[in-house]
Amino acid sequence: MIIVHGAIEIDPDRWEEAIELSLEHVERSRAEQGCISHAVHIDAENPNRLVFFEEWESMDALQAHFQVPASGEFVQQLGALATSDPQMRIFESEQKA
C-alpha cells in the first residue's frame, strides 16, 4: 500500500474557496481505481493548515492519479490560495497480520 501525507497553509481570506476545492478533489479521487482512502483535515494546532491523507493500492495507482488532469488543476488552484509551499511525503507500507 502507498500512503500520501500532504499539507498546505491557506490564506485565511481564501479559506472557503480552499475547502470547496479540497472537498471536490477528495471526492473525485475516492472514485479513482486503486484509491483506498482519501481525506482532508483541518490542523487542530494551525487552523489555516489543511492536511491530506491518502491510501493507494499501489504506486501505479498513485501515478495514474497524478496524471488525471483534474488532479493537476487542483494542485495549481490550491497553490494559488496558499501562504506556504505545499508539503507532500509518500510512503510504502505493508499491513501486518
Q: Tens digits of per-residue pLDDT, 36-86?
A: 999 999 999 999 999 999 999 999 999 999 999 999 999 999 999 999 999
Enter the DSSP assignment of 82: B
State the cell numbers at 73: 488543476
Q: Which residues partner with 7 through β-bridges?
A: 51, 87
Amino acid at 48: N
Q: Which domain holds residue 21?
A: 1-58+85-97
Residue 9, classed as helix, strand or coil, is strand
Assessment of whether the complete model's pTM goes beyond 0.85:
yes
Any idea what the CATH number is for the domain that residue 49 is in? 3.30.70.100
Domain total in the chain: 1
Q: How confident is the model at residue 94 (pLDDT cuts 50, 70, 90)?
A: confident
Amino acid at 36: I
Query: Which whole number is the average pLDDT over 20-43?
Result: 98
- Which has the closest alpha carbon to 65: 81, 54, 77, 50? 54
